[in-house]
Structure 1
Amino acid sequence: MNKIIIPAKFIPAILITVVLIAGLLGVRYFGLFSYGHVVPQQGPATVTTAPVSIINKEVAIILPGSVQSRQAVIISAEISGHLSDVNVTEGQLVQAGQLLAHIEGSAASAGIETATNPIPASQNEGSRQQAQTNYDNLAKEYDRYNKLYQVGGIARRQFEDVSARLQAAREALSSTQDTASPNSSSSTRQPSSANLTAPISGKVTGLAAASGKTVQTGQQLMVLDTGGDVRVVVHLEQKDLYLVSSGTLAEIVVNDSAPQSLTGQVEAIYPAVGTDTPLFIAHIRVENTNGLLKAELPVQVHLKTGNSVPVRAVPLSAVFQDQELNYLYLAIDGKAVRQQVDVGATINDFVEITSSLPEQALIITSGINNLKDGDVIALP
């Protein structure tokens, strides 16, 4: 029998080759690394699961609102004309009776008349009666709007509009009465003027007046704010009145980027007049103890209706985010299946799921940070 003689110089290379082959076989069959550590075989991840729950979610009406001072007085132009003097600035504190502004009346507001041909008495009487009727009707409308405006039942613009129309009717009535007087054909009156004084002590806010500016009767010029308590005002539709009434609780949310909230309660609801569709204004009483609410500040109002509806929800611990999207893991056929979901309200330790899920789905509630889509799982 022939013997194979291996030259001595090849022996080290052959030994190294044998060792490498043995190492590879060890990794393949025995899980051995070149460093001699044993890699434990990866078993199923043990997780806990829970079914989708049905819980009651409180029905809340979420609407935009605004903060108003409970003690504020609007200063409006008493006559049409131009502002010859404005004696205050935005944010200035004033005392009751202090002069705020002076208006030089225009020809229309002052009733300036020029010589005209005499008007027949019968025609003038008919015009006077028509002007009187128009004035009486507008006076009644003004009284109604004024009461609603004082309690926040109508918008400021609506009140200013009826004020201007009443002033125009007053001037028209005065014109017909002057025409009926013996000296009306040659009567000329000098422009009137008006001094606007502060009815209360307070701070000037919402200043819309400037010297030389032309103004109309009833136009808002400024607001005097006493700096007292505030209230939140929100507009309601007809359908909302089935769920909201006096006494309804409300959450007032300020600043969406870093939300803070206060608790309030609806104290009154008034109809808003002069709108094409039925609208209502709700006043919400708020304890503004920390001074968070400021006049004219926009807020978000969550009206607590006291009613509830059943919704699907899962434990908060089951939901995670990835690139600002919400996900959870479903346990399906022994594997973790990643599912994107849309979420709604957080209710205690649960979160509402507003997107669809498989019927009778089991939600993985533990170890979700260590799972990947498709991982094998086991239940305890």
Structure 2
Amino acid sequence: MKNRIIIFLALMLILTAVPLSAATTVEVTEAIIEDISLDEIITGNLTPFEKANIPAQVGGVAEEVNIDIGDEVEAGSELIKMEQDSFLIQKRQAEAALESAEANYDELINGVTEEEYRRVKSSYEDAKAGLEIAEINYKQAKRAFERSEELFQDNIISKQDFEDAEDAFKNARSQVKSAETNLAVAEANLDEADRGPREEQIRASAAQVKQAEASLDEIEDTLSKTVIRAPFTGLVFERHIEKGEMIGSGQPIVNLINIDQLYVEIEITASAVSRINKGDIVEVKAETMQHYIEGEITNIAPQADPESRSFLVKVKIDNPDHSLRPGMFADVRLLKGEAGDAVVVPIESILDLTEETPYLYVVEDGKAIRREVEVGLQTDTQAEIISGLEAGESVIIRGQQRLDAEDEVEVINR
């Protein structure tokens, strides 16, 4: 027992003879110059690059339906064809009307042929001769009537003979009038053949040609609308008609989408929209992807949604293998801020980071020196120091929570 007391007293003397160190052990790192950037991840939905809900432009019965859901179609390919019989009949009628109008116009422009002119001239001469003969017959019938009248009054001829003479006279007079009319018509035809068509006749005939052309164009346009074609290369998303069904004009029949490229549609805040521009390149990662790809900002809404107060932004990405589909979620990484050649420290070195006066400790001559700093950009691991610290200084990153200003420290980096 006595020996144990002596050993205990000896140990106490040894411990009191060696002074205990008051320094706090810490870990440090050097403040460095580095570029720092802050990203913001926003989740949106993938939508088709092109989409069209194609309607029927004319009514009719679906004669051919050449597509089904999921089919890939080329631009201009025939999707649906309607019966055309009634439209083809109308087309033939319009073609005949145009041909007739063009023939009439050509006849007016070219004038009468030499043979036609001779015929018109001959008709005039015949009409002239016919009038001369009718006038001679009229004079003879008149004299015969006057003579018959005298003889009838003298009771030399019968009443029947007198009436026959009177009828012959009236008939001769009617033939003269008819011959005069025929000569007038023949003379007018001859004058027209000599003069050519009037300007108003030509204009009227030309208008008839244009009207016939318009009618033909209209029916050809209608006929072309009985065949519904793909406006772009894409995939059939929906089909609303079956073969043999009646289609109404304006009825939606095919929904087509193009997913060779896709849009990511995101909603962002006013502060975020002020940092981006049309044409900016950003990073995109869909829910089925393991890495980010490049996307281009193509559309920025000029006005915020009145309810959400956010702005619609569209980011275009390539999708050549169709591995991505509309309706999937996708993350868009937007640059929230960046600083080049900034003084950067680990974010855990800063105390009271969310308070008004954040600070950190640096090591100078074995002591912890408190520095109030102005903090700039912050990521999950780093922070930009705008003022209060110089590059190259030793910043305490472990143990600083136990320190007061001017405390002695012992640097022990693992």
Q: TM-score, normalised by structure 2?
A: 0.36
Higher helix share: 2
Rg comparison, structure with higher value: 2
Choose between structure 1 and 2 for higher RCO, CA contacts under 8 A separated by at least 6 residues.
Answer: 2
Q: TM-score, normalised by structure 1?
A: 0.39
